């Protein structure tokens, strides 16, 4: 039975066997998203835990998806699965206060320099503003990598006013417009990033490659990819905060 037939069978006839087959059919989507997020969160959480959180999002998506609208389920589910994982990580509050304090200083320095240089902030300038060496800055960027990705997710979620528990059919035109506006702002900000950072964002989020795969393409190490990714996300998060 095709997925299209399974959706009809489950939604129209409440066939629980069809629902189970849909879960099995889309479980790889959960694993793919969890595997990519594990690159960012692996120092703090187990891969199996991420999959578990993601399954919650998958089940939520299956319950709330309306196949009659003609929207692609994978796109809708991707948002719900990622959202469920991030929500759960936020609720665990595993980020130490010391890390939050470091991030606040990094964020303040980035915001100050963006007022001078825009998105093209050099490592040496950021390091100087923080009173540290470039090596110390890169170590810090790796330390806060997880936190600034969660922080950006929170900012986008707050701006869109969309919650993982919300029925997607109940999303208002206003919130849908806000979602489109956020996407537009992010796309515009990404185009102003330095070329290497922009390339990493494109390969990671649009091509869905891992740090290792991106490193092979760009000819740099995974740790360097992590540092540049962290720096790009910090710039985007800080800029988005200024705009909304």
For the segment 90-103, what is each residue's pLDDT rounded down to a tens digit? 777 666 777 778 88
**What's the pLDDT score for residue 146?**
63
Structure tokens at 188: 């515009």
CATH number at residue 133: 1.20.140.160
Alpha-carbon distance 4 to 10, whole Å? 10
Domain extent at residue 213: 97-243
The stretches in the chain having pLDDT less than 50 are: 159-178
**What's the pLDDT score for residue 88?**
83
CATH number at residue 77: 1.10.1740.10
**What's the pLDDT score for residue 176?**
41
**What's the pLDDT score for residue 164?**
31
- Looking at the fold, whether 113 and 234 belong to one and the same domain comes out as yes
Q: Which residues of 48-67 are buried (b: 16+ CB within 10 A; e: fewer)?
A: ebbbebbbbbbbbbbebbee
Domain boundary among 62, 92, 122: 92
**What's the pLDDT score for residue 236?**
85
Q: Over the chain, what HEC string results?
A: CCHHHHHHHHHHHCCHHHHHHHHHHHHHHHHHHHHHHHHHHCCCCCHHHHHHHHHHHHHHHHHHCCHHHCCCHHHHHHHHHHHHHHHHHHHHCCCCHHHHHHHHHHHHHHHHHHHHHCCCCCHHHHHHHHCCCHHHHHHHHHHCHHHHHHHHHHHHHHHHCCCCCCCHHHCCHHHHHHHHHHHHHHHHHHHCCCHHHHHHHHHHHHCCCCHHHHHHHHCCCHHHHHHHHHHHHHHHHHHHHHHC
- Looking at the fold, whether 171 and 127 belong to one and the same domain comes out as yes
Alpha-carbon distance 197 to 229, whole Å? 7
- Quote the pTM value: 0.62
Alpha-carbon distance 211 to 213, whole Å? 6
- Looking at the fold, whether 131 and 65 belong to one and the same domain comes out as no
Question: What residues have CB less than 8 Å from 198, skipping those under 6 apart?
Answer: 190, 191, 232
- Looking at the fold, whether 101 and 72 belong to one and the same domain comes out as no
**What's the pLDDT score for residue 173?**
35
Domains of the chain: total: 2
**What's the pLDDT score for residue 12?**
94
Alpha-carbon distance 241 to 234, whole Å? 11
Report pLDDT digits (tens) over 7-24: 999 999 999 999 999 999
Say if residue 197 is exposed, middle or buried (CB neighbours under 10 Å; 0-12, 13-18, 19+).
buried
Report pLDDT digits (tens) over 59-74: 999 999 999 888 889 9
- Looking at the fold, whether 116 and 76 belong to one and the same domain comes out as no
């Amino acid at each position: 039975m095709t997925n299209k037939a399974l959706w009809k069978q489950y939604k129209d006839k409440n066939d629980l066997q069809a629902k189970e087959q849909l879960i099995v059919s889309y479980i790889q989507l959960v694993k793919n998203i969890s595997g990519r997020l594990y690159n960012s969160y692996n120092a703090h959480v187990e891969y199996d835990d991420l999959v578990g959180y993601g399954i919650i999002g998958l089940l939520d998506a299956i319950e709330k998806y309306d196949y009659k609208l003609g929207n692609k389920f994978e796109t809708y589910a991707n948002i719900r699965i990622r959202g469920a994982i991030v929500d759960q990580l936020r609720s665990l509050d595993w980020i130490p206060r010391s890390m939050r304090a470091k991030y606040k200083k990094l964020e303040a320095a980035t915001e100050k320099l963006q007022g001078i240089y825009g998105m093209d902030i050099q490592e040496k300038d950021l390091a100087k503003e923080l009173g540290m060496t470039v090596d110390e800055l890169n170590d810090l960027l790796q330390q806060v990598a997880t936190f600034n990705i969660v922080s950006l997710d929170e900012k986008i979620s707050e701006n869109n006013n969309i919650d993982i528990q919300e029925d997607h059919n109940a999303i208002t035109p206003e919130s849908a417009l806000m979602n489109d506006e956020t996407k537009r702002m992010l796309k515009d900000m990404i185009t102003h990033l330095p070329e290497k950072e922009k390339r990493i964002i494109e390969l990671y989020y649009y091509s869905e490659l891992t740090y290792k795969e991106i490193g092979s393409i760009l000819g740099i190490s995974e740790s360097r990819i992590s540092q540049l990714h962290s720096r790009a996300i910090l710039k985007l998060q800080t800029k988005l905060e200024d705009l909304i």
